[in-house]
Structure 1
Amino acid sequence: MQNKDSKRSRTWVLIAVAVAGLALAGWWWKGRDGSAADGPAGAASAASGAGRTPGGRFGRSGPQPVSVAMVQRRDMNVIVDAIGSIASANTAVVRAKVSGELKALYFHEGQPVRAGQVLALIDPKPYEIARDQALATLARDQAQLENARADLARYKDLVAKDAAPRQQLDTQQALVRQLEATLLSDQAAVDNAKLQLSYTRVTAPIAGQAGLKQADLGNNVTPSDTNGILSIAQTQPAAVVFAVPDARLPRIRQQLADKQALAVQAWDRERKQLLGEGRVASTDNAIDATTGTIKVKALFANKDNSLFPNQFVNVRLQLDRLKDVLVVPSAAVQRGAPGTFVYVVTDGQVTLRKVVPLATDGDSTAVQGELRPGDQVVTDGADRLRDGGKAEVIKTPAAGAASGGGRGRGRSGAASAASSDPASGAEAAGGDRSRWMERVPPEMVEKLRAMSPEDRRAWLQEHRASAAGSVPAN
């Protein structure tokens, strides 16, 4: 009986332990689900320290933190970006015009040469001999002609005195004309021999930059050599050939017909260095049906020889200039179901305004719509906004931030990230802390300042997701 009571007690103890274990596991799993629902923001908030109020400092019903920029009214260039390559204005392959041994080279590879400059010398001796032979033949035939003319004068006198037949006079006249023609042929042979001799001195047909030599001293060169002796590329001016959409063609042709200069800039591969500025010279005579583009040629003075034949360049063609238009950062322009729009923040209230983009120049976009200069448009954090919602402005960049006008495409994102950095935006003008920053514990502000920019940005995005979790995304 006592053994039965002992077994029964042991069984109830095991049951109680099992129930307690299940309860503890359920409590742990519930806590895990809660932290997972909060996402990475919850983990980051937990790491920031104690003192959080229920629901977190970024309550789900709170305003969405955003970065804004001012709308401006100013002139703006209409820029067409393209990819082009440098082509020399003229390229000449210098070949020997006569065959012979290459005796001398008078140029330096890669250096500029002048038009008419002697570049090479082919052995002239065979051509000097041919010239002397032609001169000798000319002298012989000239002596024969002089003798024939003297005989003709005598025959004329004899025929006049009926001392010689008329036929002999006619024969002598024909001989004189024949020798005169022979003399003309001999003179042509002399001129040709002199010309061939002059070809032994190879000269530059155009001014430009000499390439690498294609024949060495002592080689026998001929006019049929494919590579010639060298090539010359005329790089002043240099031509840039690039393709633009055919929709731009009417405006380009109109500008060219009106004799208005179309400015073109050539930038290096990384879009960091301006290589040169030029003007559109002409367009191709046909549109490429495959790509729907038209080739355009621009000429650059290239005084410093910074443009090299076949060099890759990024081209910026200024097609027009818009006067007195509304300009916003390109990052502020959103596209979605309503069309193209921007979010305007006024006293914490978000308003959706539809706009029509007119042109984009780097980080700035000219738009047409219900905007006024000075309006604050959202540049960062617009993904969780809605029309009529609430927003908290973290930091308002300087008015010049919207002017942009830069070449690159990626600077708007960096500017937005910098403006949304809690550590950099902790102090407003006059030393007042923004209302959003008042919700961050002082110890967290110090931690944010010690973080790298990437970690700060990730922390902010996590807390934005937590703050706006109940707000429907557009």
Structure 2
Amino acid sequence: MGTRKLWGAGIAIMLAATGYAWHSGIISVSSKTVAAANAQAIRPVPVTTVIVQENAFPISHTGMGTVQAYNTVTVKVRVDGEIQKIAFQEGQAVEIGDLLAVIDPRPYQALLQQAEADRARDEALLANAKLDLERYSSLVVKEFATHQSVDTQKALVAQYQAAIAHDEAVIDNARVQLGYTTIVSPLKGLTGVRLVDQGNIVHATDSVGIVVIAQMTPISVVFTLPQQHLPEVLEASRRGPLTVSAYDQDDQTKLSEGQLSLIDNQIDQATGTMRLKATFENRDGALWPGQFISSRLVVGSRRGPVIPESAVQSGPNGSYVFVVRQDSTVEVRPIQISASRNGQALIAGGISSGESVVTDGQYRLRPGSRVVATTGGQTTSRRTASTPQARE
């Protein structure tokens, strides 16, 4: 019985010692965790910042558009015959008057020669009729010929003169038809796919031409904007020519820049949009007929604080930014965005020029967090680089 009491007392002492050690360990671990968390909270957060600057920000409207050739011609034949020669390569750049194709000219040369022969015959008959008229005129004075014979001869001379005029018209027509056997380019541009091969018989009534030529310089873009922008566009157009920039479908890559050339005279009632047309020089060939692009029409500019869009954060109460204060801590500042474009945002209120805003590293920030800005491998308390200009 005494032995059992001794064993029980020993077990109780061991359990008490173990519990104390375990409890002390928890306290020790918890203290270390809290200390580490406090140290983490005190450690500055690395961020990237920019200084807000006041710049002129272009105000523009964007609409999807389609590139159209300034002029497009389907080259068709105007006479019947066999194509003896195709003188162009598909996709070739051609100038006005460049040879494209030749149709067998021999039938039309024969018609021209026949018309010239008819004229020569009628000219000979006219010369003889004039001589007879002179004879009859001299004989009527001596009463060896009647006045009726003189009048008849005058009519014959007039008849041959009319026949020669008819022959001249036939010759001109024959020359025109012969000229149609040589097909030349009516404009400067690029040829497309060849529609007829050499050796084929073609007719003037064929609906299919030989090739389509598209004028590439200049070139046009037709795009649409919502009708509510019409008053603003009309007002801006009265102040002078409006600039239109063509961007790729990603709305990031600028392809070319031109001028607005047309505001259509009616609104599309089905879509509630207005159609506009812009002209681009396109000297580098960046625009291609049929290409879908994003068209950006600049209607004016507005000055105000401009910041990168990467600095703008969204919350349940709207947009906000982290502003870096003089003591290198941040505060949350609600803002109002007036316009945005190409990664830049024009701010209508909430911040002013000269303040520093965070553009990268916001996910680790809380109001009052201490920050340190890193620029080019160097660590500074605040970044002094200026906001980049809004690009077209």
Q: TM-score range by the shorter chain?
A: 0.7 to 0.9
Count of matched residue positions in the alignment of Structure 1 and Structure 2: 353
Q: Aligned partners of 1:312, 1:257: CA distance in 2, in Å?
A: 28
Counterpart check, 1:328 vs 2:307: yes
Scaled by the length of structure 1, what TM-score is found? 0.65
Task: Identify if the C-alpha distance between structure 1 residues 240 and 395 changes in structure 2 by more than 3 Å, giving closer, same or farther.
Answer: farther
Counterpart check, 1:392 vs 2:373: no
Cα contact 2:47–2:373 (8 A) shared by 1: no
Aligned to 1:203: 184
**Offset of residue 78 of structure 1:** 1.8
- Could you say which structure has the higher strand fraction? 2
**Offset of residue 273 of structure 1:** 4.2
**Offset of residue 204 of structure 1:** 0.6
Task: Identify if the C-alpha distance between structure 1 residues 72 and 139 changes in structure 2 by more than 3 Å, giving closer, same or farther.
Answer: same
Counterpart check, 1:368 vs 2:345: no
Q: Which amino acid aligns with 1:211?
A: G
Aligned to 2:388: 403
Instruction: Tell me the C-alpha RMSD between the 2 structures.
Output: 3.6
Task: Identify if the C-alpha distance between structure 1 residues 90 and 132 changes in structure 2 by more than 3 Å, giving closer, same or farther.
Answer: same
Aligned to 1:37: none
Q: Aligned partners of 2:358, 2:195: CA distance in 1, in Å?
A: 62
Q: Aligned partners of 2:205, 2:371: CA distance in 1, in Å?
A: 75
Structure 2 residues not aligned, in runs of 5+: 1-28, 375-382
Cα contact 2:130–2:157 (8 A) shared by 1: yes
SS in 2 for 1:315: strand
- Could you say which structure has the higher helix fraction? 1
Aligned to 2:207: 226
Cα contact 1:64–1:390 (8 A) shared by 2: no
1:267 corresponds, among 227, 233, 247, to: 247
Counterpart check, 1:288 vs 2:268: yes
Q: Aligned partners of 1:247, 1:160: CA distance in 2, in Å?
A: 92
**Greater Cα shift, 336-345 or 99-108:** 336-345
Cα contact 2:333–2:350 (8 A) shared by 1: no
**Offset of residue 52 of structure 1:** 1.4
**Offset of residue 75 of structure 1:** 1.7
Counterpart check, 1:303 vs 2:283: yes
Report 1:59-458 matches (<5 A). 69-260=50-241, 262-271=242-251, 273-323=253-303, 325-331=304-310, 344=323, 346=325, 348=329, 350=331, 352-353=333-334, 355=336, 357-369=337-349, 371-377=351-357, 390-396=367-373, 398=383, 400=385, 402-403=387-388, 405=390
Task: Identify if the C-alpha distance between structure 1 residues 198 and 150 changes in structure 2 by more than 3 Å, giving closer, same or farther.
Answer: same
**Offset of residue 274 of structure 1:** 3.4
Task: Identify if the C-alpha distance between structure 1 residues 147 and 393 changes in structure 2 by more than 3 Å, giving closer, same or farther.
Answer: farther
Using the aligned pairs only, state the percent identity: 36
Question: What do the CA deviations read for 1:108-157 (whole angstroms, capped 9, x no partner)?
Answer: 11110110111111001111111111111111111111222222222222
Task: Identify if the C-alpha distance between structure 1 residues 396 and 227 changes in structure 2 by more than 3 Å, giving closer, same or farther.
Answer: farther
Scaled by the length of structure 2, what TM-score is found? 0.77
Q: Aligned partners of 1:354, 1:228: CA distance in 2, in Å?
A: 61
Q: Aligned partners of 1:360, 1:70: CA distance in 2, in Å?
A: 18
Cα contact 1:349–1:391 (8 A) shared by 2: yes
